[in-house]
Chains A and B, each alone.
Chain A
Amino acid sequence: MMNLVGQCAFALLGKLGWNQIPRNPIEAGGAATIVCGVLFIVALVTYLHRWKWLWKEWMTTQDPKRIGVMYIVVALVMLLRGSGDAILMRLQQSISVGNNNGILSSSHFQQIASAHGTIMIFFVAMGLMFGIINLVLPLQIGARDVAFPFLNATSFWLFFMGMALVNVSLVLGDFSAAGWLSYPPLSELRYSPTVGVDYWIWALQIAGVGSLLSGVNFLVTILRMRAPGMTLMKMPMFAWSVLGSMSLVAFAFPILTVTLALLALDRTVGAHFFTAGGGGNAMMYVNLIWAWGHPEVYILVLPAFGIYSEIVSTYARKRLFGYTSMVWAIWAIVLLSFTVWLHHFFTMGAGANVNAFFGIMTAVIAVPTGVKIFNWIFTMHRGRISFRSPMLWFLGFVTTFTIGGVAGVMMSVPAIDFQVHNSLFLVAHFHMMIVGGVVFGYFAALTYWFPKIFGFRLHEKLGSIAFWFWLVGFLVAFIPLYILGFMGATRRLDHYDASLGWQPLFIVAGVGVVLIGIGVGFQILQLVVSIWQRNERRDLSGDPWNGRTLEWSVPSPAPFYNFTKQPVVTARDQFWEDKQSGKNRVKEYEDIVLPKNSGLSVVIASFAFLVGFGMVWHMYWLSLVSLLGIIVTLVVRSMNEEPEYTITAREVEKLEHQREHQLKEYEGLV
């Protein structure tokens, strides 16, 4: 009888049981934080009676600007979680010397390191990137929406559910301890028998499919929905950089999908792709994951390059220097980014000739990047630069990115790479690229485009203080890692011997993290103060920075239909040219067709979450039922032939008059 009950329980619940809830105080603390956080949000929304509002205005929205805001909110929350992981690791490495074993067990430390990398790349950097693209891109190219609005919302919710799956792992079971890219054979069932790696696989698979669909969506948006007259060579540089980045998404993300699926087959049905025995080939995994992983770096950084281009020309009040060479540089990077992946594992033994080829290609890719840096510097040359905080982030980026870039070129020499492979030197290098390059750029973008979305400017003074804490803290935290790397400190180290003399440098790095933490504190303060003073910070002109591109030609916050009449483009920097020629835009109105809201994106993504959850815990019935659920939902969606609605020109005119009235009221307040 007991046996039968046991069998039924296994069929229903798979590997899930009470013993999967963490008991160790620190892990239980993490679980409690997640549970309390979710409960707090639920309670708050219920208390404020905001469920209906949340559903109607946000969860079912198809407006890319709102979807963008949701991406950014999720990414910033995940940034806090990822930073929490970073603080724990820095603390551990500062005190876990000699007889002291620190606060974290070895396996927990590995989980935290894996979670930190996974979250920061997939749910912070990617989230901020897609968020900013959603906010800015349609406005910049004079479009009202993306090519496939429903798909766009679905992509966001898949991203959200992937994020949810990572965080569920804190409460039920554990997370992968096999590093952020889960190399086999360590990540195979034999050496990682718990559900951690499965959580990693399915969270990334779900979020990855979302990213792939977004990539297709934005490619079509840029190629098919530009305003009349905006030829490719008249596009703003940000649009170009997104086009490059999304082409990479379309080519690279299918490789990730395959790689994750094969690892899942190994772990779930006993296939032999990457196993140590059975005819598997673990090195194939490393090749595959980096054939996606290296382009991924450029997927993240290209839009940041585009952002810097916009910011530099705006704040230097000059047109971008070397527009054509910038475009070529982007496409050179796109192509070359697929020819360098092997530099992540020179030590694997591919042989001298293969290493030489990839080493040279790696050095070569620094050339187009250098072209861009010089173009930005020449744009500033003889410009009237105003040093507002987005410009500060840009200058900080030039410094850190150049340091990190030079370290990268050093490591492109295989002989040097053999010395520093998997050391903290590498860790310092890629943080300089991804934090200094990508995150700084996205912070700059958030400050720069904030008024366009929310209608008021962020507090400038607090923003620059935050920047300086970030920059100094960042250098203090990562320069010591270069030195430690040379001294032989490897990555993912949770304990070392006192005689090595590493502790002082680790403590310095820890101080750096504290400084960054203060910077983050100022950013939160900046947001709070700005919201508090929003009425006196209103952007009444719609063009607070004397901008150059189309998004500044509409009032702030941008109306949900973006443009009352689709603009016609005759020049690069169209809005700037209009301002120079003193052309006064006459308000014109036209009928506007927009997509209706739909809750089905949330439904599809929730089913995807359940598919993943079922696969993690071997509840196959759940995965199967949820997969059917997705198909049925898609069929239901396809039944509706009219997912759009029209606002007439008259209604638009009325809305615009209301807005003008509102602006007059604010004018009295400022």
Chain B
Amino acid sequence: MSSATETAALELRREHEATEKTVFGFWVYLMTDCVLFASLFAVYAVIHGNTYGGPSGKDIFKLPYVLIETFALLASSFTCGLAMLSMQRHAKKQVLFWLGVTFLLGVSFLCLELNEFHHLVADGNSWRQSGFLSSYFTLVGTHGLHITFGLIWMAIMAGYVWKRGLTDTVRKRLMLLSLFWHFLDVIWIFIFTIVYLYGSLGL
């Protein structure tokens, strides 16, 4: 093998190892984020009964509304997956299209959530009301905050795809973004079940 090919092969292996390392590191980060949410779930589990004369989950949760929210987020996870498939095929325009759809779905989810929060606060059921509402707003709000950062990240990545095309770095970062987005989807499933579903049943 000539020295040039050898160097090129080495370079390629180094590149591959670096990507693999970053993805692994991001997984570890996601696990720490998972512990963070687990702690918030634990807090919610401990004090969701402390309504302190205020409303309980049964009084304020509107399941059909939350179901729409949920579908918006689940659909965004699906379209995010489609963006990744397009990325595998190096189809830049399709990646941009699906990222755009994902972004819009994410924004709709966030707007629905903020609207829900707004109504609760307007009705006098803010986080100052009781331990239950404090933990509810914090758990759901932390997820919302993650979604917000995910959306900012997505917008920036769309800019990179548009400007630089699907370079190795851009592809690596898109991979991380999609991991992040699916992770938030999983967390939401737990929020939907434990907070809204159990809450509506008065559990």
Contacts and interface: CB of A to CB of B under 8 A. Distances in A.
Contacts of B42: 288
Given A273-B131, A641-B169, A258 B39 contact: yes
A575 B52 CA distance: 66
Q: What 10 pairs across the A-B complex have the smallest Cβ distances?
A: A279-B131, A279-B50, A279-B52, A271-B134, A254-B36, A254-B35, A258-B39, A279-B130, A220-B25, A270-B128
A269 B127 contact: yes
A217 interface: yes
Interface stretch (B26-34, B84-92, B183-191): B26-34
Interface string A251-267: 10111011101100110
Contacts of A54: none
A271 B28 contact: no
Contact of B131 (A148, A223, A253, A278): A278
Given A279-B50, A279-B52, A641-B167, A273 B134 contact: yes
B21 interface: yes
A339 B54 CA distance: 35
Contacts of A269: 127-128
A36 interface: no
B96 interface: no
Nearest to A213: B29
B32 A254 contact: yes
B43 interface: yes
B68 interface: no
Contact residues of B: prevailing secondary structure = helix
A291 B129 CA distance: 27
Interface in B31-57: 31-33, 35-36, 39-40, 42-43, 46-47, 50-52, 54
Interface string B118-141: 000000000111111011011000
28 contacts: A215-B32, A216-B25, A217-B25, A220-B28, A224-B20, A250-B31, A250-B35, A251-B32, A254-B35, A254-B39, A255-B35, A257-B36, A258-B40, A261-B138, A265-B138, A269-B128, A270-B128, A271-B128, A272-B50, A273-B43, A273-B134, A278-B129, A279-B52, A279-B134, A281-B47, A635-B156, A641-B167, A641-B169
A2 B29 CA distance: 51
Interface in A133-158: 147-148
Given A257-B36, A265-B138, A270-B127, A148 B25 contact: yes
A353 interface: no
A197 interface: no
Contacts of A270: 127-128
A354 interface: no
Contacts of A261: 138
Contacts, number: 110
Interface string A202-225: 000000000010011101100111
A271 B141 CA distance: 13
Interface in A241-298: 250-251, 253-255, 257-259, 261-262, 265-266, 269-273, 277-281, 284, 288, 291
B65 interface: no
Contact of A278 (B22, B25, B33, B52): B52
Interface centre among A258, A265, A280 (most CB of B within 10 A): A258
Contacts of B46: 281, 284
Interface of A: 147-148, 212, 215-217, 219-220, 223-225, 250-251, 253-255, 257-259, 261-262, 265-266, 269-273, 277-281, 284, 288, 291, 593, 631, 635, 638, 641
Nearest to B157: A638
A638 B32 CA distance: 23
Contacts of A279: 47, 50-52, 54, 130-132, 134
A280 B128 CA distance: 11
Interface residues of B, number: 40
Contacts of A225: 21
Contacts of B29: 216
B152 interface: yes
Contact of B43 (A148, A251, A262, A635): A262
Given A254-B36, A258-B39, A224 B50 contact: no
Contacts of A216: 25, 28-29, 32
A279 B52 CA distance: 5
B16 interface: no
Given A270-B128, A593-B14, A288 B28 contact: no
Nearest to A246: B28
Interface centre among B54, B130, B134, B135 (most CB of A within 10 A): B134
Interface of B: 14, 17, 20-22, 24-25, 28-29, 31-33, 35-36, 39-40, 42-43, 46-47, 50-52, 54, 127-132, 134-135, 137-138, 152, 156, 160, 167, 169, 173
A288 B35 contact: no
Given A272-B128, A279-B52, 13 more contacts: A216-B28, A224-B24, A250-B28, A250-B35, A251-B32, A254-B33, A258-B36, A265-B134, A272-B130, A272-B134, A278-B52, A279-B130, A279-B134
B90 to A, nearest CB: 18
Contacts of B50: 272, 279-281
B7 to A, nearest CB: 8
Given A271-B138, A641-B167, A280 B131 contact: yes
Contacts of A271: 127-128, 134, 137-138
Contacts of B167: 641
Contacts of B152: 631
B134 A147 contact: no
A92 B130 CA distance: 42
A220 B132 CA distance: 38
A223 B134 CA distance: 39
Contacts of A272: 50, 52, 127-128, 130-131, 134
Contacts of B132: 279
Nearest to B7: A591
Nearest to B137: A271
Contacts of B54: 279
A280 B51 CA distance: 10
Among B22, B39, B129, the most chain A Cβ lie within 10 Å of the Cβ of: B39
Given A258-B40, A271-B128, A271-B134, A251 B52 contact: no
A223 B24 CA distance: 10
Nearest to B20: A224
B32 A250 contact: yes
A212 B36 CA distance: 11
Contacts of B31: 250
Interface centre among A225, A250, A291 (most CB of B within 10 A): A250
Contacts of B25: 147-148, 216-217, 220
A278 B130 contact: yes
Contacts of B52: 272, 277-279
Given A281-B47, A641-B169, A224 B21 contact: yes
A145 to B, nearest CB: 11
Contacts of A281: 46-47, 50, 131
A174 to B, nearest CB: 26
Contacts of B156: 635, 638
